[in-house]
Structure 1
């Protein structure tokens, strides 16, 4: 996977993590670890990490047991404002390290949102995927909210300018049991057909996320 940027575009590391999880190809893991290993700060300077990709620190910590990654996780939690883009990371932290104590505040971030963009929809499904179903009240609330939003956004397919965000969210939701595969996977197929012919070495994160989720979807059908 030949791709190097001083400043990553959003979802590039997330795309690589998901491709590694879908295919098991070491080049994707190396891409993530090489970039994270070279970062010196989490602030918005050259060489820093987009907030959408902060989850990659959990991946790196799990792969290496390097305590520097755990320190990065703790630093990110105390130094960033809570936004929708940050909620997948916050949820992962709460689930893994903080006994899920702030699930209500996480749910409220989405509950109080009046209108959702495609990026907000991605943040929502990523948050759901990091949330423990053991705290079913909040898991169910976000799951039900996702279903309402995605049904509205699907009405604009295939002409929506947010087709990639919607399609990814549908595929991911099918793979984690939020949506029924037999009812919704054809919409994922629609989006897959939009990118299937693109060069998969261009390192565009959201397209790699779609590729990964589509691959996982097809494996589950076997």
Structure 2
């Protein structure tokens, strides 16, 4: 009787164990695939964030090269009268996709816990730059209209500039303030882009040791 029970039960046990093992293997394979896909998605999102930092940095750098550090404008006492700026609406908005970057919060660590705040701050500072450029373009346009209708008689360019500043002091003060703010924002943006990039790379190496990510060729 015992032998009969063994003969009947053994195939059932083997069948059950085989089915369980197959299901477990399928489950582990699916889990491994999901983890691999999730890792790939996070790496892709991280590279997009680095690309966005690069876009911000290059915008700041282009402004510095073409509007500030050209023709010795930066150190010119009358730089507000000489410095151009992109026209209103010409600069594009640049933003991070924070919905893809929540994985920075999945692991403990001071660097990783603050990197999202650093990215958010960098984005907000860029938005302030956009507003500053808009204000500067309007102030420059307003002062330009005043200059075109000026009735100031002098052949001395330096005296002419001084006369303009005096005659249109309110408009000039606005132009000077936005010029100084634009230069300060650009300089700070270049520095901050470098700093945030280093923090992002550090956080990513903590989370994905040995993984290669996009790099930014900062100018020296």
TM-score, L = length of structure 2: 0.21
Query: Could you say which structure has the greater relative contact order, defined with CA pairs below 8 angstroms and 6 or more residues apart?
Result: 2
Q: Which one has a larger percent helix, Structure 1 or Structure 2?
A: 2
The structure with the largest alpha-carbon Rg is: 2
TM-score, L = length of structure 1: 0.21
